[in-house]
Amino acid sequence: MATTLEELNRADEGAFVRAVGEIYEESPWVVERAAARRPFAAVADLVDAMAATVAAATKEEKLALVRAHPDLAGKAARAGKLTYASAAEQGALGLDRLSDQEYDRFEKLNGAYKTRFGFPFVICARRQTRDAILGAFERRLSNDADAELKTALSEIDLIARLRIAQHVKGPGMAKTDGRLSTHVLDTHAGKPAAGVKIELYEIGASAKALLKEAVTNADGRTDEPLVSGEPLRVGIYELRFHVGEYFAKRNANLPQPAFLDVVPVRFAIAEPEGHYHIPLLVTPWSYSTYRGS
């Protein structure tokens, strides 16, 4: 599906729809109408034109758009019958291969939601952890119908924005990625702590998942951000800084066992497009951490 903004601007309507028709799940009419708004100077303008098209549609059309979406972690996902885009988005969270127990939980939530609102639960899965989705599911079940339709449409805008960012190359894309980074400062020695092993875990209701391992360089930073180039997933995380090994090599007089060994820093991400810089200032006897910049 990869294409360029320039090609999209030049294409006839049929070619335009073939190129980006899948951006809105099973609803090529959005793209058809947006075609007339060309040319676009920036990719962000294409995003806005499509969102404006949806916003201008009738309530029936909006409901149809929401209903065109598959269940989250539903039968279609299990049976491998999702659109390519949905399959990738749900698959990244493992929603296509849940245990029977987890599947049942989603089935119950999907059923309750559809009974209440008459349309399936839609959420931009690429901006969420699985736990965050379950939390949103339960929270949104208590919305009223109008607020919930609005929420579903705004999630569809987010889905479209990310699909466009991935598939349309060109100038002026809106920001769709976040960044998680850290650095370790040895305030005992007054310099960056080099060689400290860092692990990043997602902390879920179920088992903890190791997302990334890195070791600090001479600047006390990791060579690249812990997460970048994609949205951060809303959820709970834990950084584990292995400072015990670091100080054991430098300080002769530490007790056995040392006061600090693995320092866990647990935090939540609420802004998928945000920058979370979470440093550790540490001595063998103390540490500080904070959301920095």
Q: Which one, 65 or 123, has the nearer CB to its own copies?
A: 123
Query: What three-state secondary structure class fits 8?
Result: helix
Closest CA to 245 of 223, 215, 266, 267: 215
Shortest distance (Å) from residue 293 CB to its own copies: 4
CB 226 within 8 A of CB 265: no
What's the closest the beta carbon of residue 64 comes to its own copies, in angstroms? 30
Judged by CB, which is closer to its own copies: 101, or 256?
Answer: 256
* Shortest distance, position 185 Cβ to its own copies, whole Å: 6
Closest CB to its own copies among residues 80, 190: 190
Task: Using CB under 8 A, list all residues that contact its own copies.
Answer: 132, 135, 183, 185, 187-192, 219-220, 234-236, 238, 255-264, 266-268, 270-271, 281, 283-293
**What is the per-residue DSSP string for 173-211?**
PPP--EEEE-BEEETTTTEE--S-EEEEEE--SSS-EEE
Nearer to its own copies, 75 or 291 (CB): 291
For residue 173, the minimal CB distance to its own copies (Å) is: 22
Q: In the complex, what is the shortest distance from the CB of residue 284 to its own copies, in angstroms, rounded to a whole number?
A: 6
Q: Residue 13 CB, nearest distance to its own copies (Å)? A: 42
Q: Which helix (H) or strand (E) holds 6?
A: helix 5-10
Residue holding tokens 């919305």? 143
* CB of 6 or CB of 261, closer to its own copies: 261
| CA 280/CA 262 separation, integer angstroms | 12
Compute the half-sphere exposure of residue 245: CA atoms within 13 Å on the CB side of its CA.
11
Show the tokens assigned to 100: 């029977």
| Distances, alpha carbon 169 to alpha carbons 33, 50, 84, 104, in Å | 21, 17, 19, 40
Specify the residue, 52 or 189, whose C-beta has the smaller distance to its own copies.
189
Decide the pairing of beta strands 227-230 and 209-215. Answer: unpaired
Q: Least CB distance from residue 239 to its own copies, whole Å? A: 11
The least CB distance from residue 266 to its own copies, in Å, is: 6
Structure tokens, 228: 């970048």
Comparison of 104 and 261: residue with beta carbon closer to its own copies: 261
Degrees (nearest 5) of the Cα angle 227, 230, 236?
55
Smaller CB distance to its own copies: residue 165 or 280?
280
HSE-CB at 175 with a 13 A cutoff on CA atoms is: 10
**Token pair of 110, please?**
């999907």
